[in-house]
Amino acid sequence: MLVVSFHAFPEAMPGGFIGVDIFLVISGFLITGIVARELDQQRFSLVAFYNRRSRRIFPALIVVLCATLVLGWLRMLPAAYAQLSADVFASAAFFSNIVIALWSFVLNVALIGSNPVTTFYLPFTRSCAPAVCPSRVVLPHLARQPA
């Protein structure tokens, strides 16, 4: 509810995204406990783990994705809706992170060029705040320096 409140009233609920952090910590703790227990009992199966996970997550995922498609159909232009449809398919097939990573790579090469040094360091420069990770400020500047 913190996340929903944050998105609905950002000025009234600063820091509402902390709900996501709390959820991820609790979820990670519970999943790790289940995996550790099954490993101790020597009955852990990665296939069974993902099967249980899919059965639990997929019903809610389908509702959200269908609602997204309906709202997109009503509010988006055809080109944007085509992209949305592709994104929904990737989400339903559980490979949206792979699609995002591939598009990020393509966009990075298009924006920066095929320099392997900048391509290697770019994910690091995009993933952390300047105060925590000075490379976000320093590396892009260095990448623009003439050789």
Q: What is the tens place of the pLDDT at every residue in 83-95?
A: 889 888 888 887 7
Determine, yes or no, domain membership for 135: yes
Whether residues 59 and 76 share a domain: the answer is yes
* Structural domain boundaries enclosing 123: 95-147
Whether residues 103 and 74 share a domain: the answer is no
C-beta contacts of 136-139 below 8 A and 24+ residues apart: none
Determine, yes or no, domain membership for 49: no
Whether residues 100 and 136 share a domain: the answer is yes
Residue 84: which of 99, 105, 98, 101 has the closest Cα? 99
pLDDT tens across the length of the chain (147 residues): 667 777 777 777 777 677 778 888 999 999 999 999 999 999 999 999 989 988 988 899 899 999 999 999 999 999 999 988 988 888 888 777 777 777 766 666 555 555 555 444 445 444 444 444 444 444 444 444 454
Whether residues 17 and 62 share a domain: the answer is no
